[in-house]
Amino acid sequence: MVDSQVILTIVVAALATMFTRFLPFLIFNGKKKIPDYVMYLGDRLPYAIIAMLIIYCLKDVSFNETANYLPNFIAIGVVAILHFWRKNTLLSIIGGTAVYMILVQVVFV
């Protein structure tokens, strides 16, 4: 039996996700003109947020142990190089994740 907290957490995650997607359509329903500043942020923020999310993924990385940070940095390098080179999202993700899994399971154990 799954406890109700688990179900509620999923429901809240679903509602919060929907909220972020419906919000602009609810505020700017085509009648009002979208302010220039909002358009500007809409154009610029995605670049900053993706960068922010990379740091977010690394938030629990500890610099005290080589086995903790090195696999992350090597695998990020692999993803970046693969992506600069082939520009194939799937290849970059699979390649980087495979390298990371090998590093944490076999190399730095």
Q: Which is nearer to other proteins, 65 or 80 (CB)?
A: 80
Residues 93, 97, 99, 100: is their CA dihedral positive or negative? positive
Whole-number minimum distance, CB 59 to other proteins, in Å? Answer: 4
Residues 6, 9, 11, 13: is their CA dihedral positive or negative? negative
Number of H helices, E strands in the chain: 4, 0
DSSP secondary structure letters along 34-47: PPHHHHHHHHHHHH
Whole-number minimum distance, CB 64 to other proteins, in Å? Answer: 14
Q: Which residues bind to other proteins, rule: CB under 8 A?
A: 2, 5-6, 8-25, 28, 30, 34, 36-60, 71-72, 75-76, 79-80, 83-84, 87, 89-90, 92-94, 96-97, 100-101, 103-105
Whole-number minimum distance, CB 30 to other proteins, in Å? Answer: 5
Burial (0-12, 13-18, 19+ Cβ within 10 Å), 61: middle
Whole-number minimum distance, CB 45 to other proteins, in Å? Answer: 5
